[in-house]
Amino acid sequence: MTSMHLPKLQCFFEDFIQGVSQHISNQLAPSEWQRLLALAQSTPSHDPELQFTAFDSIEGRIRHYAYEEQISPLEILSAPYFYQQLEIIGRIAESPLCYFRESGIYLWSPAPDCDSLCFWLTYPAYPPGWPDDHNGLLQPNEPCLQAPLLIM
């Protein structure tokens, strides 16, 4: 999960890193950062071959673990748990940069139905609320798809 995995959204990668880094450094409650980092260190990894790695900086961690996700904002917002945790923390190219409180997920896409750039504070562990079954990860839920936020 490095920048080499960002062929379609690569030109937005640096803006994504900066937006996420600024949010973590200046707005994220230290207690939430510590809780999610503890999950990253103590919870079993989503991939048995991966282990928690410490970094010298927040930006270094983001740069290493940010990736292109094949889940669109519409898909993640269709899950009521994530929809209720949404916080818009900025904009990149006129599209919202999203943070999902309590789960530590950062997500940005140029359009609501496109792939997205993603970073988990809990990596390599799954974020809180993430479904265990990745077949049919997030099923559409009509009321959530009507959200005004999605007018980009």
Residue 129's pLDDT is what? 82
Dihedral in degrees, nearest 10, Cα atoms 66, 71, 75, 77 = 0
How would you list the strands of the sheet with 95-100, edge to edge?
67-69, 116-120, 105-108, 95-100, 86-92
Residue 132's pLDDT is what? 57
Residue 31's pLDDT is what? 94
Alpha carbon distance 76, 36 (integer Å): 19
Residue 55's pLDDT is what? 82
Residue 40's pLDDT is what? 86
- Regions of the chain short of the pLDDT cut 70: 1-7, 46, 132-152
Residue 49's pLDDT is what? 73
Residue 1's pLDDT is what? 44
- How deeply is 41 buried, as exposed, middle or buried, from its count of CB atoms within 10 A (0-12, 13-18, 19+)? middle
Alpha carbon distance 60, 25 (integer Å): 13
DSSP state of 119: E
Residue 138's pLDDT is what? 42
Alpha carbon distance 108, 96 (integer Å): 7
